[in-house]
Amino acid sequence: MSTEPTGGAYIPATTQAPRMPGRPRHALPPQACDAHCHVFGPYDRFPLRQPSSYTAPDAPADRYLRMLDTLGAQRGVLVQPAPYGTDPAALLDALGQGSGRLRGVAVAGPDISDERLRALHDGGVRGLRFVEARDPAGRLFPGSVGFDQIAALAPRMKAHGLHAQLWAPCDVYARHLPALTRLGLPLVIDHLGSLVPSRGPLDPVFQQLRGLLADGAIWMKLTLCRVGTAPDYADARYLHDAFAAANPEQVLWGSDWPFVRMGDKAPAADALADLAWEWLGDDALRRKVWVDNPARLYGFQGPADA
C-alpha cells in the first residue's frame, strides 16, 4: 500500500477500519488474555517507519481497548508490526493507556542499548519479535529483525526479562530451532508454527514443533486464522488439539486483531474465541490457556484493571 513520506516517516494514504467483534456466546474466564494483537496509529502521532505492503488499519489504542472489552478479555498482549520497524512509540503509548492490563512485544536489533532495553521492560514490554520471512529476492520484510540476530541479543534479553517471539514459514523453523533452543531463552512460536494443515500429522515440521513443545523448549500461540480455513477452521483442529495436549502449560490464545492483510476475509474475534472455548473442552484447560499461561509468561500480577 503506497504511503506518503513526511519527515522520514510514512503517513498512510488510506486506512481501513478493522472488523470489530461482537460479544462471544461463551464468557471468557476472569482475567482472560488475548495474547496476540497489534495497534496502528493515530498516524498523526505515530507514523509508520516503513512503507506498508498492506492497507494500514485504523487501529489505535482506544479502538483496541474497546475490542478487548467487547471480547471480555481483561488482559492483552500487543505485538509490534513490521511497518513500525524498531520504533516502539505507538506500542509503548498503548501499553501506558492499558493501566496495567497490557503487555508488549517490541522489535530491536543487537545495537539496542541496555538503557533502552530497561526502558522497554519498564514500559510493559516482555519480549522481542524476530521474523524470518523473506521476499523472492531473499530480503527480510522491511522493518523486521531476522533469526540470525537472536544469539547476539540473547544474554541481554535474559538479563532484562525478555523472551523471543518467532514468526516464519514452517520449514524455516526446522532449520533454526535446534540452535535457538540451546540459547536458554524462552521461545514463543506464532500462529501454530505457520504449519500447512494439508500436510497432515506426519509432517516432520509438525512433529518437531510438537516434540519441542512437549519438552518445554518452546511456547505455542494457538492463532487459527493464519493457518486454518474459515469459517470453521476444521482442517487445523488437529494442530490445535495436538499442541494443547502436548503441553497445556505453554500454549496461548490470540485473536490476531486487526487481521492485517486479510481485508474483507478478516474473521470476527468473538467467533474465534467461541471456537477456542469449544475446542479446549473444559474449564481447567481454558483457564490455563487464557489466564494462567499468559500471566506466567508476560508477568501479569493481581487483578487486571477493567
In the beta sheet, which residues pair with residue 131? 167
pLDDT tens string 211-222? 999 999 999 999
In DSSP notation, 220-279 reads EE--GGGTS-TTT-GGGHHHHHHHHHH-TTSEE----TT-TT-GGGPPPHHHHHHHHHHH
Catalytic-role residue among 87, 190, 203, 256: 256
**Low-confidence winner among 20-24, 139-143, 148-152, 284-288 (lowest mean pLDDT):** 139-143
Domain count, the chain: 1
Is 38 part of a structural domain of the chain?
A: yes
Q: Which of 3-17, 141-155, 247-261, 286-300 has the lowest mean pLDDT?
A: 3-17
Return the SS3 of 10: strand
Q: Diameter of the chain by CA atoms? A: 53
Q: Is the pLDDT of residue 305 over 60?
A: no
d(CA 9, CA 20): 28
**Which residues share a beta bridge with 102?**
76
Please check the confidence at residue 292 and state whether its pLDDT lies above 70.
yes
d(CA 258, CA 18): 5
Predicted confidence band of residue 304 (pLDDT cuts 50, 70, 90)? very low
Q: Is 83:109 a contact under the CB 8 Å cutoff?
A: no
Tell me what the pLDDT averaged over the chain comes to. Answer: 94
Question: Does residue 2 register a pLDDT over 70?
Answer: no
Residue 136 confidence (pLDDT): 79
Residue 41: partners with Cβ closer than 8 Å, 6 or more residues away = 15, 56, 57, 58, 59, 60, 90
* 121 inside domain: yes
C-alpha cell at 17: 477500519
Domain that holds residue 39: 32-298
Percent of residues, the chain, with pLDDT higher than 70: 96
Q: Is 105 within 8 Å of 157 (Cβ atoms)?
A: no
Q: Which residue has the cell 494462567?
A: 292
pLDDT in tens, 162-214: 999 999 999 999 999 999 999 999 999 999 999 999 999 999 999 999 999 99
In a domain? residue 1: no
pLDDT at 110 over 70: yes
- Percent of the chain past pLDDT 90, that is, above it, reads 89
* CA distance linking residue 276 with residue 244, whole number of Å: 11
**CATH number assigned to the domain comprising residue 237:** 3.20.20.140
The yes-or-no answer on residue 58 being catalytic is no
CA 204 to chain centre: 24
Residue 23 lies in a domain: no
Place of cell 490445535: 240
Does residue 54 contact residue 48 with C-beta atoms inside 8 Å? no
Residue 278 within a domain: yes
In 3-state terms, the chain is what percent helix, strand and coil (to 5)? 40, 15, 40
Would residue 17 count as lying in a domain? Answer: no
Residue 122 lies in a domain: yes
In a domain, 54, yes or no: yes
Amino acid at 113: S
Cβ neighbours around 174 below 10 Å, total: 15
pLDDT tens for each residue of 62-108: 999 999 999 999 999 999 999 999 999 999 999 999 999 999 999 99
Backbone angles phi, psi at 218, to 5 degrees: -140, 165
